[in-house]
Amino acid sequence: MKKALVIGSLLVVLTLSLGGSAASKAAGNGATYEQLRLFTEVLSIVQNQYVDEVPSKDLIYSAIKGTLRGLDPHSAFLDPDSYKEMQVETSGSFGGLGIEITLKDDILTVVSPIEGTPAYRAGLQTGDRIIKIDGLSTKDMQLPDAVKRMRGKPGTKVTITVVREGMTEPKDYEITREQIRVQSVRSHELGDGIMYIKLRQFQEQSPHDLDTALDKFAKNGMKALILDLRNNPGGLLTAAVEVSEKFVEDGKLVVYTEGRIRNQNMRFSAHAKKAYTQIPMVVLVNQGSASASEIVAGALQDYQRAMIVGTQTFGKGSVQTIIPLSDGSGLRLTTAKYFTPKGRSIHGKGIAPDIVVEAPKEPAGKDRPLPNPDPLEELKKDVQLQRALDVIKTMRVMEQQQRSSAQSSQGPQTQSRQ
């Protein structure tokens, strides 16, 4: 049976074993059998005596959902339709609004709107609490159910009701669904050899797109790099590893996972054919940087490979395994937590930046202004990016001073002509 490892809400196909030891199974078999007998007893009573006739499949699905809801916010049952929806997420193209959501304190919460999507243009923000979808309360709603309700045919509309810090009352956002095509990498030259790359999401294509941008910059004389992971909600674990390894030395650990069973204990190390390990580098993060973004930021911070600038990240550090079931449905089950190379667990904590720079808060209840058609002009108004540029310039000055000091310590060189 194939299963899939999930960082954030996207899939990486792996083969795993869910079996425990024979001794532990034997010890629990008796108690489990008794509880299952109680379950079938209740199921039989409901089927025969409940006021309305309910299909057995619906009862079983509801029972499974209840079981998983009691574990943690990220474990869930996926009916066949929801399971198919989950499988399309790695392609970077789907019909919907363009937001990453999670359950935080049992409340449906926006991790991040993806730049350029309907949700982003409408003004949804990181931390928004979604209390209704098309007038239906989201209380006790599971993540797959919420995703299913927000997705739909391009051109159709959905109304999202949100509560936000600073708002005096909930606000409705009527958003028109679009075919969401996320261009994962955007890049610009900022002058003086400083290059800027924004990574919007970790998709299958992201490492290749990043390679293309880096190769182009290298030919143009790249001397420093700013990697922008703000409002990047995560994605594929493999993509996070492949992005990280472009900036750390070969063989270095990028991230590792730990779970209850041995096959969930995995280590991912850098093995890039070409890496940029010497150029000064800054990584921008904020509260919308989650999951795979935190893996990259955490690894580069642990190795002191880059300065992390911005605000505290989201703190999504658990691993979900997508397990297909016999009727086309699936389980989304938390099976492990991931750790940075130095053993830091990010789950519930996030990554603390080396330099904290708060961004101006958008007024509560007001829609996000349209972006400046000139992206470079837009970047000039970005206070976090401007601080990153200052940090880069300081790093380059220090690097030059170290070189001068090293050359001075070597003393005068005697040359001879042969």
Residue 220 near residue 274 (C-beta atoms within 8 A):
no
Catalytic residue among 79, 145, 228, 302: 302
293 is annotated as an active-site residue: no
Catalytic residue among 65, 198, 246, 316: 316
Residue with tokens 């790249």: 222
Tokens coding 258? 């730990």
* Distance in angstroms (rounded) separating the CA atoms of residues 123 and 369: 8
Q: Where are the alpha helices (DSSP H) in 253-291?
A: none
390 is annotated as an active-site residue: no
Phi/psi of residue 154, nearest 5 degrees:
-55, 140
Catalytic residue among 291, 293, 318, 329: 291
DSSP 74: T
184 is annotated as an active-site residue: no
**DSSP-derived 3-state class of residue 366:** coil
**DSSP-derived 3-state class of residue 75:** coil
Rounded to the nearest angstrom, the gap between the alpha carbon of residue 17 and the centroid of all alpha carbons in its chain is: 25
* Distance in angstroms (rounded) separating the CA atoms of residues 125 and 109: 10
**DSSP-derived 3-state class of residue 343:** coil
Helix (H) or strand (E) holding 179: strand 178-181
Burial 302-330 (b: 16+ CB within 10 A, else e): bbebbbbbbbebbbbbbbbbbbbeeeebb
88, with CB counted inside 10 A (0-12, 13-18, 19+), is middle
Give catalytic residue positions. Answer: 291, 302, 316
